[in-house]
Structure 1
Amino acid sequence: MPAITVPDLTVLPRVPLPDPERSTERPVRGVTSAPSGYEGEGFPVRRAFAGVDLADLDPFIHMDQMGEVEYAPGEPKGTPWHPHRGFETVTYLLDGIFDHHDSHGGGGTISDGDTQWMTAGSGLLHIEAPPESLVVSGGLFHGVQLWVNLPRASKWATPRYQDLRGSQVALLTSDDGASLVRVIAGEVAGHAGPGSTHTPITMVHASVAPGARLELPWRPDFNALVYVLAGNGSVGSDRRPVRKGQLAVLGAGGHLRVDAATSQPQAEPELEVLVLGGLPIREPVAWAGPFVMNTRAEVMQAFEDFQAGRLGTIPSVHGAPTTLTEG
């Protein structure tokens, strides 16, 4: 799980320990285990938010951990062309290569530690797939796709695409120098990530060494979620055990704590967590397939607009499949 690594963590800015007299540590409200499934043309995923109330996730809607899978030559898979409206997709790749194209002119290729940030807004068509070279060679594929809701006022925003290189993320270390903290969006201890968001959020990928502790300041008005990408450890003020594929929903407070177990699986030498938080939108959510709106009527209109070709047309992209699906 390379993403972005640093040979010497001690040269990075350090996240100061919270002042216990001024900041309350967030407790764990619940832990859920992600069920496995398949997405797109058949790549394996873990449904990270399955079974969690949308009110606890707000402003997030959905998240898949894609892979981790070692493809043989000819096996790599992606998604066919499909529509979206009303939210943002954030695709963070830890291992492998992924291409993106959309009907609004956005697109690019991401690899280890890069992020594709697509604001669907008023609606578009897009496709995500491994490049032809990876299909031929096979290889490791592992990433995360997060759906971030848009408030009512931004659901009709003009679509846009952000190509965030791994080299752009803010890199920090814990107070003891034993954890690598990658800030992809939002801010941690005054250090901001490169992602530009309509909805205020923070997105962090942290690697915590065996036996180490990571404490992060967290905006009190944000919710807080910790998803385990690899390894095992504990989360929160009550040291709730967590392992790969589990999501911890945290309660109120000014900072959060993650501890890595002293013993980790041989193939997963560190505890890898994705830490998410955002300002709840607190608006009605009507969600069906690839559309996330405020009312059922708006969702039905999105389906009608898609079927009528009003969400865009498939651009001419060499080598890209032209099959269109609804989600």
Structure 2
Amino acid sequence: MPAVTVPDLTVLPRVSAPGVAAASRPVVSITSAPSGTEGEGFPVKRAFAGVDLSVLDPFIHLDEMGEVDYAPGEPKGTPWHPHRGFETVTYIIDGIFDHQDSYGGGGSITDGDTQWMTAGSGLLHIEAPPEHLVVSGGLFHGFQLWVNLPRVDKMKAPSYQDLRSRDVALATSADGGTLLRVIAGDVAGLQGPGSTHTPMAMLHATLAPGAELDLPWRPDFNALVYVMAGDGFVGPQQAPISAGHLAVLGAGDALRISAAQRQQQRYATGLEVLVLGGQPIREPIAWAGPFVMNTRDEVVQAFEDFQAGRLGQPLPHAEVGDPVG
């Protein structure tokens, strides 16, 4: 970790720190992600567990997949399964995932690539490690984020974006100690490659030990900081955070994160965080398994459409159950 690196950060553009009048967002809550399994049994951390959906809006669900070093024969994926009413964003830091969906989208993502799938009116898809990785084993680490769609977009035709690591916008912090990778949205003038229905921003930051990151942040967005590795601090009061923590930040137009000067040996590179923000949709949410709609009747209709084979071409092993990638 991480997949996209720059040996010399001084060659990158520097993000200007917020102005002296900027209001730094306070910490509202810090929660710890419980561990679980997903799909055919790969390990995950449920980053949003225990956090109210109204605070997360427009985001719904976030799994950190791994980090796990598979032995030969161990790598796992998901079976075919349906989705409707939202987008899945799969960001792979280490390892390889293959994707295929019933609308023709798909491909392999690895080492900093992102799959952005808009399920919209509904489709079936599958995610799995390639056969050569199953045979060899190896490191696997990534994230899957679920982004809600507003009512007007929930029944749009499905679509797919293949975002390559080379297209991610790169910069460093004002102090030169942080590598910023913007995957979607506009962050301090950096435009990520992802095209979003809901206004949002997604970035992966690596803070060297002792580095400080002060970022301007849209005041109409919420702000979430998830720690995948390392120890650090967040907010104007510099609340301590560490691996597996999710910090929900309050109102303001800037955010502050810093890495502890002393890191555990396995986190020698510093603090690794995923930072998310989006414009809340503020619509009712009816969520059951792989369907995220506005009303219970719409969810029931989604189940009926799936069973009737109206979500793309039905496949023999598709199942409906708990949230699946």
TM range (shorter): over 0.9
After superposition, residues 222-241 of structure 1 pair within 5 angstroms as 222-241=221-240
**Aligned counterpart, 1:102:** 101
**Aligned counterpart, 2:275:** 275
Secondary structure of the structure 2 residue equivalent to 1:78? coil
- TM-superposed CA distance for 1:2, in Å, is 2.4
**Aligned counterpart, 1:7:** 7
Structure 2 unaligned segments of length 5 or more: list them.
none
Q: Name the CA distance, whole Å, in 1 between partners of 2:201 and 2:140.
A: 24
> Given residue 248 of structure 2, which amino acid in structure 1 is its aligned partner?
V
- Is 1:284 equivalent to 2:284 in the alignment? yes
Secondary structure of the structure 2 residue equivalent to 1:104? coil
Q: Name the CA distance, whole Å, in 1 between partners of 2:151 and 2:263.
A: 44
Q: Name the CA distance, whole Å, in 2 between partners of 1:301 and 1:17.
A: 49
**Aligned counterpart, 2:46:** 47
Percent same amino acid at aligned positions? 73
**Aligned counterpart, 1:124:** 123
Q: Name the CA distance, whole Å, in 1 between partners of 2:2 and 2:31.
A: 26
Q: How many residues align?
A: 320
Q: Any idea what the Cα deviations from partners look like across 1:12-33, whole Å, max 9, x if unmatched?
A: 1111011122x10000000000
- Is 1:323 equivalent to 2:317 in the alignment? yes
After superposition, residues 72-221 of structure 1 pair within 5 angstroms as 72-221=71-220
Q: Name the CA distance, whole Å, in 1 between partners of 2:261 and 2:301.
A: 53
Q: Name the CA distance, whole Å, in 2 between partners of 1:197 and 1:17.
A: 26
Q: Any idea what the Cα deviations from partners look like across 1:121-157, whole Å, max 9, x if unmatched?
A: 0000000000001000000000000000000000001
Q: Any idea what the Cα deviations from partners look like across 1:28-57, whole Å, max 9, x if unmatched?
A: 000000000000000000000000000100
Q: Name the CA distance, whole Å, in 1 between partners of 2:217 and 2:79.
A: 38
Q: Name the CA distance, whole Å, in 1 between partners of 2:267 and 2:89.
A: 24
Secondary structure of the structure 2 residue equivalent to 1:303? helix
Q: Any idea what the Cα deviations from partners look like across 1:58-83, whole Å, max 9, x if unmatched?
A: 00000000000000000000000000
- TM-superposed CA distance for 1:265, in Å, is 1.9
> Given residue 305 of structure 2, which amino acid in structure 1 is its aligned partner?
D
Q: Name the CA distance, whole Å, in 2 between partners of 1:212 and 1:198.
A: 33
Q: Name the CA distance, whole Å, in 2 between partners of 1:14 and 1:157.
A: 38
**Aligned counterpart, 2:256:** 257
Q: Name the CA distance, whole Å, in 1 between partners of 2:252 and 2:104.
A: 41
Query: What TM-score, normalized by structure 2, do the two folds share?
Result: 0.97
Secondary structure of the structure 1 residue equivalent to 2:298? helix
Secondary structure of the structure 1 residue equivalent to 2:228? strand
Secondary structure of the structure 1 residue equivalent to 2:204? strand
Q: Name the CA distance, whole Å, in 2 between partners of 1:46 and 1:90.
A: 16
- TM-superposed CA distance for 1:176, in Å, is 1.0
**Aligned counterpart, 1:20:** 20
> Given residue 273 of structure 1, which amino acid in structure 2 is its aligned partner?
V
**Aligned counterpart, 2:302:** 302
- TM-superposed CA distance for 1:10, in Å, is 0.6
Q: Name the CA distance, whole Å, in 2 between partners of 1:162 and 1:236.
A: 33
Secondary structure of the structure 1 residue equivalent to 2:10? helix
Q: Name the CA distance, whole Å, in 2 between partners of 1:288 and 1:13.
A: 44
Secondary structure of the structure 2 residue equivalent to 1:18? coil
Q: Name the CA distance, whole Å, in 1 between partners of 2:167 and 2:58.
A: 24
Q: Name the CA distance, whole Å, in 1 between partners of 2:77 and 2:266.
A: 25
Q: Any idea what the Cα deviations from partners look like across 1:171-197, whole Å, max 9, x if unmatched?
A: 010001110000000011111000000
Query: What TM-score, normalized by structure 1, do the two folds share?
Result: 0.97
Q: Name the CA distance, whole Å, in 1 between partners of 2:227 and 2:246.
A: 6
Structure 1 unaligned segments of length 5 or more: list them.
316-321
- TM-superposed CA distance for 1:314, in Å, is 5.1
- TM-superposed CA distance for 1:225, in Å, is 0.2
Q: Name the CA distance, whole Å, in 1 between partners of 2:59 and 2:195.
A: 16
**Aligned counterpart, 1:318:** none
> Given residue 182 of structure 2, which amino acid in structure 1 is its aligned partner?
V
- TM-superposed CA distance for 1:198, in Å, is 0.4
Q: Any idea what the Cα deviations from partners look like across 1:185-228, whole Å, max 9, x if unmatched?
A: 00111110000000000000000000110111100000000000
